[in-house]
């Protein structure tokens, strides 16, 4: 009896082992193996994996869960394609494969010429600008620059302090897409004196070069500035709020404020736009960094970062690279609620609410992922002298019976 039981147990164990190894060998041939670690990991407090400027736009889900669902949805795609792979050849990748080997080989090539400069940008007033607005743009996005110039990126006196603006550009990758690009940037530079153009290809993976070259430029040509806002062209910035916020800070002290991302993990799925192989970055988490949609820094921090970044090896994701520079000088970036570089998260139960309420924007500093028309509209609504955000205040007041609303309606009726 005992022997038979033992034999049965051994038989069952053997079968389980065989089945398991069969299953495992099946799995090993799918690209999912690389991502399993990611999807199984329970998210840390709020780990955000996607750098700010490419975050999905107006995502209707709650902020805490959205990267996680992103990863899962990517993992699902991978699963689907790997199933297809058994019968049909793999469809082409959506992103052209990034050549990490070449990137590593060329990493020391990090000094490029400034083709269009604005050497007098920060010398328009003797004491220098209070705020310099530096906006990452690409040559092709003329309409975005134009709307920023006419709205939140205005130069001159704002709330009693001097504001100046520059756009940060590289050479367009596809020169046939806009054959007149050279004449365009030259004309813009003459007209607005806000164009900085460097001699490197303006690609996603070269944004780190833009970061370094801008800090370099700021240190050389704008050392009198008190504070810098650096951001994307598809954001809405409430410059008045930023100036209010900055008024109590000392530009000679460290300050780095934005939408800060803690505990982000490098993405090891080859299909992702943010894929980073272990040969390039071996650690499990990135240093603390700010979403690239928009952040603020002081004169003192700009100078320190400029020096620190010169000593940090190039890394293809610019936000993370700047995080590495911050880490090097042991500077802790400060999280501010007013920086929504992942876009505004709409409550899923009422997606129609708060989408375009200027009163909602009144308290924010930076909102990411807006269309040109939305930036224009929001700025104009916010600067309408008739704008009164009483509705918001009414909601906050304690509940009262109809008396109040009756009183309000009377003058209208009469």
Ligand X SMILES: *[C@@H]1O[C@H](CO)[C@@H](O)[C@H](O)[C@H]1NC(C)=O
In the region spanning residues 281 to 320, those forming contacts with ligand X, defined by CB under 6 A, are 299, 303
Give the x/- contact pattern for ligand X in 212-231, rule: CB under 6 A: -----------xx-x-----
Give residues with Cβ within 8 angstroms of 16, minimum separation 6: none
Residue closer to ligand X (CB basis): 171 or 370: 171
- Among residues 174, 348, 355, 409, the one that binds ligand X under rule CB under 6 A: 174
Residue closer to ligand X (CB basis): 140 or 357: 140
Residue closer to ligand X (CB basis): 201 or 280: 201
The CA-based angle 384-388-390, given to 5 degrees, is 165
- Among residues 19, 27, 64, 177, the one that binds ligand X under rule CB under 6 A: 177
CB of 303 to ligand X, least distance (A): 5
Q: How far is CA 23 from CA 11, 39, 40, 72, 370, in A?
A: 18, 19, 18, 21, 46
Q: Which residues of 256-295 are buried (b: 16+ CB within 10 A; e: fewer)?
A: bbbbbbbebbbbbbebbebbbeeebbeeeebbbbbbbbbb
Give the x/- contact pattern for ligand X in 66-105, rule: CB under 6 A: -------------------------------------x--
CB of 365 to ligand X, least distance (A): 21
Q: Confirm or reject binding of residue 59 to ligand X (CB under 6 A).
A: no
Residue closer to ligand X (CB basis): 128 or 343: 128
How far, in Å, CA of 327 to CA of 305, rounded? 10
Residue closer to ligand X (CB basis): 174 or 409: 174
DSSP single-letter state for residue 185: H
Residue holding tokens 């069969």?
A: 22
CA atoms within 13 A on the CB side of 407: 5
- Among residues 50, 167, 181, 200, the one that binds ligand X under rule CB under 6 A: 200
Provide the token pair at 42.
């329970």
CB of 10 to ligand X, least distance (A): 57
How far, in Å, CA of 341 to CA of 338, rounded? 9
| Interaction site with ligand X (CB under 6 A) | 103, 174, 176-177, 200-201, 203, 205-206, 223-224, 226, 251-252, 299, 303
């Amino acid at each position: 009896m005992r022997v038979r039981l033992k034999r049965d147990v051994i038989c069952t164990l053997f079968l389980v082992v065989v089945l398991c190894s069969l299953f495992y060998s099946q799995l090993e041939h799918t690209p999912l193996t690389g991502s399993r670690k990611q999807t199984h990991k329970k998210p840390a407090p709020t780990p955000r994996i996607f750098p700010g400027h490419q975050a999905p736009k107006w995502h209707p889900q709650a902020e805490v869960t959205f990267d996680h669902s992103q990863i899962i949805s990517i993992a699902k795609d991978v699963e689907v394609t790997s199933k297809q792979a058994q019968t049909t050849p793999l469809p082409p990748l959506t992103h052209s494969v990034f050549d990490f080997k070449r990137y590593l080989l060329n990493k020391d090539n990090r000094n490029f010429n400034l083709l269009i400069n604005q050497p007098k940008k920060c010398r328009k007033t003797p004491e220098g600008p209070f705020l310099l607005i530096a906006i990452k743009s690409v040559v092709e996005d003329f309409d975005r620059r134009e709307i920023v110039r006419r709205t939140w990126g205005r130069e001159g006196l704002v709330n009693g302090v001097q504001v100046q603006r520059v756009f940060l550009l590289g050479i367009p990758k596809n020169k046939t897409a806009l054959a007149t690009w050279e004449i365009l940037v030259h004309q813009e530079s003459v007209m607005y004196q806000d164009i900085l153009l460097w001699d490197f290809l303006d690609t996603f993976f070269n944004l780190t070069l833009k970061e370094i070259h801008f800090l370099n430029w700021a240190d050389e040509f704008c050392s009198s500035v008190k504070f810098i806002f650096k951001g994307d062209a598809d954001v809405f910035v409430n410059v008045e709020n930023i100036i209010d916020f900055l008024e109590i800070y000392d530009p000679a002290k460290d300050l780095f404020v934005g939408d800060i991302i803690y505990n982000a993990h490098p993405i090891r799925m080859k299909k992702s736009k943010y894929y980073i192989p272990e040969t390039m970055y071996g650690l499990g988490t990135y240093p603390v960094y700010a979403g690239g949609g928009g952040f603020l820094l002081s004169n003192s921090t700009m100078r320190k970062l400029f020096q620190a970044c010169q000593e940090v090896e190039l890394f293809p994701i610019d936000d993370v690279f700047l995080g590495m520079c911050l880490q090097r000088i042991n500077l802790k970036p400060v999280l501010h609620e007013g920086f929504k570089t992942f876009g505004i998260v709409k409550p899923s139960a009422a997606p129609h609410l708060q989408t375009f309420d200027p009163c909602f924007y009144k308290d924010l500093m930076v909102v990411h992922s807006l269309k040109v028309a939305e930036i224009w509209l929001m700025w104009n609504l916010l600067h309408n002298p008739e704008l009164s955000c009483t509705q918001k205040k009414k909601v906050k007041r304690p509940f009262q019976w109809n008396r109040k609303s009756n009183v309000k309606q009377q003058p209208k009726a009469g």
